[in-house]
Amino acid sequence: MRYSQSRTSKTKGSQRLIQDIVDAHPELLNAHIKEKIKSVSTREICWKSPLQQDEFAEYRDAAFLKLLGLSDLTGKLKEFWPPKGPQWDALGKTLDGKIFFLVEAKANVPELVSFCGAKDKESLKKISAGLEIFSVGSIAASLTWIGNVAFTNMLTDWLICISSRKLLEKKPT
């Protein structure tokens, strides 16, 4: 599903910060990623969302796979996680289509706190099974955040934690 994110003066926190970085200053995010991940250092990164030209939309389920050119994984995703999975704050990929970026933005610690909204027994079983695939160790976090980490583990090789505030402090004037 695609979710348009209206941009108003009330848009704040991680949502506003990731919109600013991805849409207006992707070079800051790209430079940080390229510095930390050697296999990305020579590749060009293309951000697919959130972009102003797409109403700063966020994507989930089959829609995020389609946006990244990964529609062939829709069946695997349905087996791995129930409908209404993580709604990604930002999505990107390398131009060669070999590396994908699924971003869950957090501007501060309280944003990590959320709860599982699933009620259906089958959905809860899928979520539990998905979380068993990924071991978080001693990290204390919300089920939603851990679920996003599990998703990232299923589809990519890295979990990248970025301080969006620090990146914005470096933006060109």
pLDDT at residue 120, as a whole number: 79
Task: Give the model's pLDDT for residue 135.
Answer: 42
Q: Which of 93, 85, 91, 104 is nearest to 15 (CA)?
A: 104
List, run by run, the mean pLDDT of 10-residue segments along the chain (173 residues). 82 82 91 84 94 94 92 84 82 89 74 67 71 42 43 51 47 44
**Domain-wise residue ranges, the chain:** 2-169
Q: Looking at residue 100, what is its pLDDT?
A: 84
pLDDT, position 129: 63
Angle between helix 121-133 and 143-155 (nearest 10) = 60
- DSSP structural state of residue 24: I
Supply the pLDDT for residue 111.
64
